[in-house]
């Protein structure tokens, strides 16, 4: 087990330079000054507290160490920027505390620390003193290797996971979550077996309400206490890295929770959000919107990403709800939003914020990933900042996801009428660096699990899903799959229970899991599937027009022209006898994988293990292959 070696405490203080940089929005280590930090003054150990509350008449620290005495520990305002500080001797770790903020009108506000590194377990709302220094990291090899990676040319297969509902304690007397360490031991084993490259963790920053899944945050600098201490979270990341698995965190700069102890009206006025509700509130979500026009707020958010990178060694962030930040009128009716200075609906401050964020983070940490969950056609999300792009590493391809799900839901009889829904994404594929997401959002709120989106009898549903996943893994773009969908979770996801692991006792579910494992293995083994994702140099349709038979055929091309892969997918329950397909070269095409194999839960009817191309014109090509294509069959050939 990794040990934690605490460093010798030094004096923590906030200088004039600290105040200046924070006011400028460029103090990227501000989290080491604001918040609560073990410190030494005049040889005496204790805790240094700092908070930004520019409109407060006074601020006091209250906590378990002073019996929550509201007058015991006043803070001093140290400069014009509104920062208040104090040192309290004798205070150690694991103490609960809040800031008592008095407004000029006499109102008392009891606020959690915005920069706290730990929080009281919900339903408690206090912050906790901790020391996050000194963890014995042993992931140097991973971190060095990451710095040299260009993930546009690397495999990226992400397992989206919610810790609290992935797996629960098997003992009924322990009705609760695995802690970070227990989860580490189980998830590492599973991800290694399945061959994922990364795990994306939902809901890590502290949040009061389980049902928000972590998307309404109160503690941006604190790993949630639901699963243990900050050093337990470090243990999890360290163990994943030692097993060559990257860690991406969901990060939520678009909005924050309105709970009384949170960031809203923090010092009696709106310092984190815009005071105008047309700018500062999401009417549909019941949340507050960060004011990206304020330098201190931008500093709070950008330093937060750097905090997770430097203190917890995370490998990427998936930025939630980017579209809601870029558009001033997102989810709003007329009269609920304010145009920008040019009269338009673009949020100019959010645009500048994203450019600032990506330039600092990616410029400092090559190999780190910033991923935008952006659902519109906003241009150049992953474009270079100097070319007026936003500079993200990747964008979720929400258009592909929508078209894919809508097509796969259809009765096979009607798929011919919607055939081009599945081919449309390739028409804009080279405009961004894309990730193909089948995320948690697609399997909640009566949208059905991925399995139950599929038409037909039970065996048909599994056959359809194997075809769908094959299409996804063959298609250009990196991959993301939400937990449980790899083995055919039948119920919708709920944060209140663990996944239905018992389904793996069923042949169809175990077969689907084995099939996804094979897809992941092939994806990681063959560079043609990942090294040229954003250009036609890596993808070519063979026949994208066979709508009468609802079949798709394409091949993925490697830069070396070797080990290319040919995909043929039959989206109907019909057998297509003597199916003829134009192919690029006169070679032998060797079967690598077929979704109808019995070991995957298929019918056992499979395509030939080897087919030699003949010089016969088909699909505008000089050579072709002919074979019987079974119902709901997805076949991958090497050539």
Catalytic residues: 320, 373
Structure tokens at 639: 């050539």
Question: Residues 162, 202: contact at Cβ < 8 Å?
Answer: yes
Those residues whose C-beta lies under 8 Å from the C-beta of residue 604, and which sit 6 or more positions away, are 596, 597, 598
Cα–Cα dist 208/124, whole Å: 8
Cα–Cα dist 323/372, whole Å: 9
Q: Is 432 exposed, middle or buried (0-12, 13-18, 19+ CB in 10 A)?
A: buried
Question: Residues 499, 488: contact at Cβ < 8 Å?
Answer: no
Cα–Cα dist 365/310, whole Å: 10
Structure tokens at 317: 């962030």
Question: Residues 114, 70: contact at Cβ < 8 Å?
Answer: no
Cα Rg of the chain, angstroms:
27
Residue 128: CA count within 13 A, CB half-sphere: 20
Distance of CA 172 to the CA centre of its chain: 31
Cα–Cα dist 531/533, whole Å: 6
How far, CA to CA in Å, does 551 sit from each of 148, 542, 613?
A: 40, 11, 19
* First-to-last C-alpha distance (Å) of the chain: 47
Angle, nearest 10°, between helix axes 295-312 and 16-24? Answer: 110
Measured in degrees and rounded to the nearest 5, phi and psi for residue 431 equal: -80, -20
Cα–Cα dist 476/106, whole Å: 60
Summarize the chain as % helix, strand, coil (round to 5): 30, 25, 45
Sequential DSSP letters for 440-502: GGGGSTTS--HHHHS-SSHHHHHHHHHHHHHHHHHSSSEEEEETTTTTT--SPP-TTS---GG
Those residues whose C-beta lies under 8 Å from the C-beta of residue 58, and which sit 6 or more positions away, are 74, 75, 101, 102
């Amino acid at each position: 087990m990794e040990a934690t070696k605490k460093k010798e405490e030094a004096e923590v203080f906030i200088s004039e330079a600290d105040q200046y940089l924070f006011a400028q929005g460029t103090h990227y280590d501000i989290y080491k000054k604001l918040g609560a930090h073990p410190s030494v003054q005049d040889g005496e150990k204790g805790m240094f507290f700092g908070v930004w509350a520019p409109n407060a008449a006074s601020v006091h620290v209250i906590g378990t160490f002073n019996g929550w005495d509201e007058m015991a520990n006043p803070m001093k305002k140290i400069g014009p920027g509104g920062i208040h500080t104090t040192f309290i001797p004798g205070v150690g770790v694991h103490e609960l505390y809040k800031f008592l903020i008095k407004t000029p009108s006499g109102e008392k506000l009891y606020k959690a620390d915005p920069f706290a590194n730990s929080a009281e377990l919900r339903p408690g709302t206090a912050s906790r003193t901790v020391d996050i220094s000194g963890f014995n990291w042993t992931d140097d090899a991973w971190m060095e290797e990451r710095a040299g990676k260009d993930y546009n040319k690397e495999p990226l297969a992400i397992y989206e996971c919610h810790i609290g509902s992935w797996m629960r304690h098997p003992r009924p007397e322990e009705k609760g979550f695995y802690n970070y360490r227990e989860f580490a031991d189980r998830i590492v084993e599973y991800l290694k077996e399945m061959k994922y490259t990364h795990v994306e963790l939902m809901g890590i920053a502290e949040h009061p309400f389980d049902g928000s899944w972590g998307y309404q945050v109160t503690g941006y600098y604190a790993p949630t206490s639901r699963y243990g201490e900050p050093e337990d979270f470090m243990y999890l990341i360290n163990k994943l890295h030692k097993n060559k698995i990257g860690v991406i965190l969901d990060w939520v700069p678009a909005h924050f929770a309105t709970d009384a102890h949170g960031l809203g009206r923090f010092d009696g006025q709106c310092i984190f959000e815009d005071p105008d509700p047309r700018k500062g509130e999401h009417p549909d979500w019941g949340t507050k919107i960060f004011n990206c026009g304020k330098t201190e707020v931008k500093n709070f958010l950008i330093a937060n990403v750097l905090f997770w990178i430097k203190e917890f060694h995370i490998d990427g962030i998936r930025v939630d709800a980017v579209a809601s930040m870029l558009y001033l009128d997102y989810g709003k009716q007329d009269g609920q939003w304010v145009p920008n200075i040019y009269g338009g609906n673009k949020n100019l401050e959010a645009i500048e914020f994203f450019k600032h964020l990506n330039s600092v983070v990616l410029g400092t940490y090559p190999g780190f990933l910033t991923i935008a969950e952006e659902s519109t056609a906003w241009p150049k999300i992953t474009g270079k900042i100097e070319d007026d792009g936003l500079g993200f590493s990747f964008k979720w391809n929400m258009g592909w996801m929508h078209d894919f799900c809508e097509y796969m839901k259809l009765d096979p009889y009607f798929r011919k009428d919607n055939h081009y829904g599945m081919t449309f994404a390739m028409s804009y594929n080279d405009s961004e660096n894309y990730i193909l997401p089948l995320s948690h959002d697609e399997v909640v709120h009566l949208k059905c699990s991925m399995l139950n989106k599929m038409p037909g009898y039970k065996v048909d549903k599994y056959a359809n899903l194997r075809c769908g996943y094959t299409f996804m893994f063959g298609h250009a773009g990196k991959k993301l799959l939400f937990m449980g969908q790899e083995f055919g979770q039948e119920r919708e996801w709920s944060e209140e229970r663990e996944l239905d692991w018992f389904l793996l006792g069923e042949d169809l579910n175990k077969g689907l899991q084995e099939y996804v494992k094979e897809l992941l293995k092939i994806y990681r083994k063959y560079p043609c599937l990942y090294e040229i994702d954003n250009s036609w140099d890596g993808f070519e349709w063979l026949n994208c027009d066979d709508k009468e038979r609802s079949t798709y055929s394409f091949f993925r091309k490697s830069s070396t022209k070797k080990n290319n892969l040919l995909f043929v997918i039959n989206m109907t329950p019909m057998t297509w006898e003597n199916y003829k397909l134009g192919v690029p070269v006169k070679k032998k095409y060797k079967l690598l994988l077929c979704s109808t194999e019995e070991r995957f839960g298929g019918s056992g009817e499979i395509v030939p293990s080897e087919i030699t191309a003949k010089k016969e014109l088909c699909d505008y090509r000089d050579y072709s292959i002919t074979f019987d294509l079974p119902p709901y069959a997805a076949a991958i050939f090497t050539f």
